[in-house]
Chain A
């Protein structure tokens, strides 16, 4: 293996073919569609048309790559986790390092693409929803760089959990609106962004952050994220000379999973594993596993048909995950379809397993993964020991864990951190008085 190959031979230079297109009604098998109030139909039709154009437009792809390479640090590396693999004593583990991109997560891939689309459509203002804050952060940096006015909707509960991201978004010039309705999490932020878009459809572009919502968003976001999987496939070919046996990714909405899976979809020998939030139990309200475990049922909400966590009347129910980015009630219609056809296996990891996975990866490889990505790691760590040492696992480290310092420190019950917080709080209130 030559290091120079890893630098020159990894980026997909042509617009990638997209194997996951929906039918003419926006459906992927039994899931998808465009279930929105009439006022939003013209915008979605226009976006659909634009998506069809850019998919075959080398100029768009060149602009996209240029921005990702010069602004966001692509390609992101694949790291061979040698110590970790040895510790677990089974399959060799490789990590796709989306945590190293601009704003520390895969979200930027989507945001840059949609920013270029908004520019093409002549929009002046960008709106977005965010759960963990990662998509909001990525959007805020893009908006600052591209010169858009920007508003990010975030559930009030997430605003409280992810204060550092809120701080940075606001400093980047974005207006962060805390959504106080419903369960005050990601789904409510999506509802509110849709309402904003209904009102301001002429000058505003809605940059949806995951492969969910009405058509064409699921397909558009999945296509923009495919760069992650295409790079990883090329990188493993160079590093390993073969395909991995399994690929793991966490699934909130499903954009990082669809991104990395697209490098390997259609290869019979590669098993694709999506990992949902197992939370603290299997009762309703204790987790956010829509597919794994079978708690979710088909429904139509938030503009599309998929598997939702809902009650028998069709009301969405409360979810829980230690990771704010995984507690969404729905899931990408593309993943619902792939999983119903047996092309993706859905699994789950509990809050406790996730904290264990973070500890292990930090200790063995010096990498701090996001709570979300650690779900994929936890499932991979569970499975690796029962695999052979000549087998390979690829895990998408979709984001970095710095943002989770408050949650992780409290999970680790770190006394000196608690003292630090207390001291800072006292200093803070002191300076407010002064």
Chain B
């Protein structure tokens, strides 16, 4: 049995980082290199996305990445292999699976979670699984020591926010704005109101995601959120200039986050 995630609340002058890769996209080697770059930059949590043909919460960049990975023949099995290798190679980083519910459902909740735990995953992010239906996955996650991450949106009603925060584990994934992944988010005082509302309801750390793209964004989020989640901008850095540009991107982000 795993021990769940090792995330913790941060102080005003420091912010933790959460990164993302789509399993074996654009290639098995590239995904492994991206993970290495992130670990070197001190990223605390890395999401490994198992590609799905209907990525409802993803914007154009990750949608294309999902479809391309599937066209390249990436399977659920490949994602487990990557998880196993990465978690073994980088024992100080928390790895979580991010995927859509059908991947879990089709494998069987118990079988999927057991295998995820055996591969070294410490948590799960399933963006199309609302609170009303979490019991089954929560139950299995508890058995195998994984944290089933809760997601919150800016328009989530107050009474619902209370319920979601009550059962939060690992970190609360606070979606910073309307829409899908990849667009721009203005870091504003509104955001700090949003995260302090969550903080008041749960001691679980907060990860803010959707539209965080630059060192400037990261500076602005210190004291607002415990973690900043970066996906699209990092993948775009890889797409622009490969390994070197990706490494450089994370170095700058880490510097802003006060990691180096």
Contact = CB atoms under 8 A, between A and B. Distances in A.
Interface of A: 25, 33-39, 41-42, 181-182, 187, 191, 194-195, 198-201, 297-303, 308, 310, 312-316
27 contacts: A25-B132, A25-B133, A35-B129, A36-B56, A36-B130, A37-B151, A37-B153, A38-B127, A38-B151, A39-B153, A39-B178, A39-B179, A41-B153, A41-B156, A42-B155, A191-B54, A195-B180, A198-B178, A201-B178, A297-B106, A301-B100, A303-B56, A308-B102, A310-B106, A314-B105, A314-B107, A315-B53
Interface of B: 52-57, 59, 63-64, 67, 70, 75-76, 100-103, 105-107, 127-130, 132-133, 151-157, 160, 175, 178-180, 183
* B interface SS class: loop
Given A25-B133, A187-B54, A299-B106, 6 more contacts: A38-B151, A41-B130, A181-B63, A198-B178, A301-B53, A313-B106
A63 to B, nearest CB: 29
Contact of A313 (B63, B103, B156, B178): B103
Contacts of A300: 101-102, 105, 128
Contacts of A301: 53-54, 100, 102
Contacts of A199: 178-180, 183
Contacts of B56: 36-37, 191, 194-195, 302-303
A301 B101 CA distance: 8
B152 to A, nearest CB: 6
Given A299-B102, A316-B54, A42 B180 contact: no
A314 B178 contact: no
Contacts of B178: 39, 198-201
A350 to B, nearest CB: 26
A201 B64 contact: no
B153 A38 contact: yes
Count chain B CB atoms within 10 A of each CB in A25, A35, A199, A298 and give the residue with the most: A35
Contacts of A316: 53-54
A199 B76 CA distance: 29
A303 B100 CA distance: 11
A226 B154 CA distance: 37
B106 to A, nearest CB: 3
Nearest to A39: B153
Nearest to B78: A313
Contacts of B67: 181-182
A35 B133 contact: yes
A332 to B, nearest CB: 17
A187 B103 CA distance: 17
Contacts of B180: 195, 198-199
Contacts of B153: 37-39, 41
Given A181-B64, A201-B155, A315 B52 contact: yes
Count chain B CB atoms within 10 A of each CB in A34, A191, A200, A301 and give the residue with the most: A301
B133 A38 contact: no
A314 B106 contact: yes
Contacts of B127: 37-38
Nearest to A183: B53
Contacts of B70: 315
Contacts of A298: 105
A412 to B, nearest CB: 35
A191 B127 CA distance: 14
A182 B128 CA distance: 18
A33 B70 CA distance: 27
A315 B106 CA distance: 9
Nearest to B58: A195
A35 B107 contact: no
Count chain B CB atoms within 10 A of each CB in A25, A42, A199, A315 and give the residue with the most: A315
Nearest to B160: A41
B52 A38 contact: no
B179 A34 contact: no
A38 B64 contact: no
A35 B76 CA distance: 21
Nearest to A187: B54
A266 to B, nearest CB: 29
A39 B175 contact: yes
B148 to A, nearest CB: 14
Contact of B156 (A36, A38, A182, A194): A38
Contacts of A201: 155, 178
Contacts of B128: 35-37, 300, 303
A39 B130 contact: no
A284 to B, nearest CB: 14
Contacts of A303: 56, 128
The 10 A-B residue pairs with the shortest CB-CB distance, nearest first, are A314-B106, A199-B179, A39-B153, A38-B153, A314-B102, A315-B53, A316-B53, A37-B57, A301-B54, A313-B76
Contacts of A313: 75-76, 103, 106
Nearest to A330: B54
B21 to A, nearest CB: 18
A125 to B, nearest CB: 14
Contact of B132 (A34, A42, A302): A34
A316 B103 CA distance: 11
A201 B155 CA distance: 10
Contact of B130 (A34, A181, A182, A191): A34
A99 B183 CA distance: 42
A165 to B, nearest CB: 24
B130 A310 contact: no
A39 B177 CA distance: 9
Nearest to B128: A35
Contacts of A187: 54
Nearest to B151: A38
Contacts of A25: 132-133
